[in-house]
Structure 1
Amino acid sequence: MTGAMTFTEPAERTELRAAVSAFASEYGQGYYRARAKEGAYLTDLWKAAGELGYLGVNIPEEYGGGGGGIGDLAAVLEELSAAGCPTLMMVVSPAICGTVLSRFGTPEQRQRWLPGLADASSIMAFAITEPDAGSNAHRLTTTARKDGDEWVLNGRKTFISGVDVADAVLVVGRIEDERTGRLSAALFVVPTDTPGFDKQQIEMDLLSPDHQFQLFMDDVRLPADALVGDPDAGLLQLFAGLNPERIMAASMSTGTARNALAQAVDYAKERTVWRDTPIGAHQGLSHPLAQMKIETEQARIMTQFAALRYDSGDDAGAGEAANMAKYAAAEACVRTVDQAVQTLGGNGLASEYGLGAALTSARLSRIAPVSREMILNYVAQQSLGLPKSY
């Protein structure tokens, strides 16, 4: 028998997880919640993580990164989330933008942006969603036209994370093919201080330091080198960033589930109501918590598998696995946080534990960055070969 399979992460990643877990525990859920209530970002944690090399583990070494893969970066986000410090900017800046620029950026673009994304001196947001084009990237109306040596960008975006802390935004738009006249996808790096680029914060019923914005681009003039990669490969470049996005979202969900489960288990071991028996001895609580452990571990394994497929260069296989991982992790997260609240009873909604706020953010994981329904469409059509429903 040859080629034996292994489900053990490499020793380097195990060590990375332990280091990030110890680092994140110095901040914890209290720090995250306090910053969110102040309307501020996790700046101290972000800068320290960058200095320690955690934000750039997937960035090539020649640009100041660790030279690892998306699996390594996903492990970092999972451990941050398990310690109570999930942040969407890990999904956006080093994962989506860092991956796209590493794979498709010009040497000048890589040198300009990747070192900063790795050491936290720069943050980049990502803008694809539009008011009238949520899951359908083919209906994007943000367009760029050539004017001499410049691009002129016009359009709107919505639900864009972290624009308030970003130095630039990687904007997905469309340009006209000079040969066919057809519009094709294209990506542009847009510094946030560019004239004509404006943002407006969206008020959310969500306690998070990652704020959401609408973007307005009115005749935004960009240099020729703002265009990323090959305009004929726009969709390929876009999906090269979206698979890591799904893997990272899954890791944030499994980390959040682990955090909620740990709190529920600790509480169930200590809380007594009838006689001197801890409530965790009762199957009405122990069995649901055991189910959540099983479902979370299943999602973690699927996420690690998706990362392995992506890091091995299998973009097609990674697409299926990343979507499945994101779905499984979101479901595990929602169910686990809900069960944690049920285990703690009234304390489950006390600010001290942070589970009430986690209910909202966990529910968001079913919607963003891609809805569970669109994942089911993908699996039905791409994995099962069923007819397209839309």
Structure 2
Amino acid sequence: MLLTSENQTLDSYAPGLRERLYGHGLLANEGAQSTAVADWSDTGGTSLIVPTALGGAGASAVDAVRFQTAIGAVAPSLAAATTMHHLSCATLFEAAEDASQEERDLIRALVEGGTVMASGFSEGSPGGSVFRPTMTARRDGDDYLLSGRKAPCSLSRSMSLLVASALVDDSERAVVLVFDGAEGLRREEFWKSPVLAAAESDALILDDVRVESDMVFLTSENDPDDVHEMTGYLWFG
């Protein structure tokens, strides 16, 4: 039977999600009023690839691909959008390898809380590098002020957290966590095509968003060789 192993994998990690998605149907899942992201979040899909030690489901890369394939068969927008969530998750749990216990506790709390994460990492471009952040941050006392733009940014309407890369003081890269509702963070309409409309790919604009230091993971401290961020992109691929 077509997609047998994929559907079994989906059912094992997110019980009830497949029934919800097929119950709505393709057109509803892809429409502007789609509830697919909420269905995915409600059934435990957010923690798919996060290691069990950090509160996740601990899916292998093979199972993750099967899971996403099963979703994509009935809700292409959800499959596309949640791939960006998993990129953010992978970057965080890889960073946790060298993080302090306090930082690991934070990541675990985010995972166990079912946090929906939007990705503010750089987009690939011809001749460019995904490791060159498009957002900038500058120190302001004990905090950082983050500015920049991510367009399109999938899950922009459902996210609880934006995980972004930034260049700090024009000299050092960092992974920065910004919670939805932060002052200086706003959304703008971007993706106007009906294709993949339910991926929620609007623009996120940040204008001097204040971020506390414990929400900023400096690469010099956590990932001097870019290994963790690179591994995050491998999961994404």
Q: TM-score range by the shorter chain?
A: 0.7 to 0.9
* Contact 1:20–1:79 (8 Å) recurs in 2: no
Q: Does the 8 Å contact 1:21/1:80 carry over to 2?
A: no
Partner of 2:192: 204
| RMSD of Structure 2 on Structure 1 (CA) | 3.3
2:59 maps to which residue? Answer: 68
- Alignment match of 1:213 (pick from 160, 177, 202): 202
- Residue 34 of structure 2 aligns to a residue whose secondary structure is coil
**Structure-2 separation of matches of 1:134 and 1:225:** 33
**Structure 1 residue 91 displacement after superposition:** 0.9
TM-score, structure 2 as length reference = 0.78
1:229-275 C-alpha deviation (Å, 9 max, x unpaired) = 533636433222111111xxxxxxxxxxxxxxxxxxxxxxxxxxxxx
The offset of 1:61, in angstroms, is 1.8
Matched, 1:85 2:75: yes
Higher relative CO (Cα under 8 Å, sequence separation at least 6) belongs to 2
SS at match of 2:228: helix
| Corresponding residue of 2:167 | 174
CA contact (8 A) 2:94 2:232 kept: no
Equivalent residue of 2:217, what SS?
Answer: coil
SS in 2 for 1:203: coil
More helix by share: 1
Q: Distance in 2 between matches of 1:239 and 1:211?
A: 25
- Letter matched to residue 200 of structure 2: H
Residues 1-390 of structure 1: matches in 2 within 5 Å?
A: 16=9, 19=12, 23=16, 24-28=18-22, 30-50=24-44, 54-82=45-73, 84-86=74-76, 87=78, 88-93=80-85, 95-105=86-96, 106=99, 107-117=101-111, 121-129=114-122, 135-137=128-130, 140-176=133-169, 183-205=171-193, 206-228=195-217, 230-231=219-220, 233=223, 235-246=226-237
Deviation at 1:19, TM superposition (A): 4.2
TM-score of the pair, normalised by structure 1: 0.50
Q: CA deviation at 1:116?
A: 4.4
Question: How many Å separate the matches in 2 of 1:185 and 1:228?
Answer: 9
- CA deviation string 1:206-237 (max 9, x = no partner): 24311112222211111111112533636433
Instruction: Give the C-alpha shift of residue 174 in structure 1.
Output: 0.6
- Number of equivalenced pairs: 224
Gaps of 5+ in 2: none
Q: Work out whether residues 92 and 245 of structure 1, in 8 Å CA contact, stay in contact via their aligned partners in 2.
A: yes
Shift of 1:60: 2.2
In structure 2, distance between residues paired with 1:225 and 1:151? 10
The separation in 2 between residues aligned to 1:191 and 1:22, in whole angstroms, is 28
Conservation of the 8 A alpha-carbon contact between 1:41 and 1:210: no
Displacement of 1:139 in angstroms is 5.2
1:111–1:20 CA distance, 2 compared to 1 (3 A): closer
8 Å CA contact 2:118–2:153 kept in 1: the answer is yes
**Kindly tell me: are residues 204 and 236 of structure 1, through their superposed partners in 2, closer, same or farther at Cα, counting changes over 3 Å?**
farther
In the alignment, structure 1 segments of 5+ residues that lack a partner are 1-11, 177-181, 247-390
SS of residue paired to 1:92: helix
Q: Which has the larger radius of gyration?
A: 1
Letter of the 2:106 partner, please give it.
R
SS at the partner of 1:62? helix
Q: CA deviation at 1:27?
A: 2.3
How far off is 1:166 after superposition?
Answer: 0.5
**Structure 1 residue identity aligned to 2:138:** R
Structure whose residues are more often strand by fraction: 2
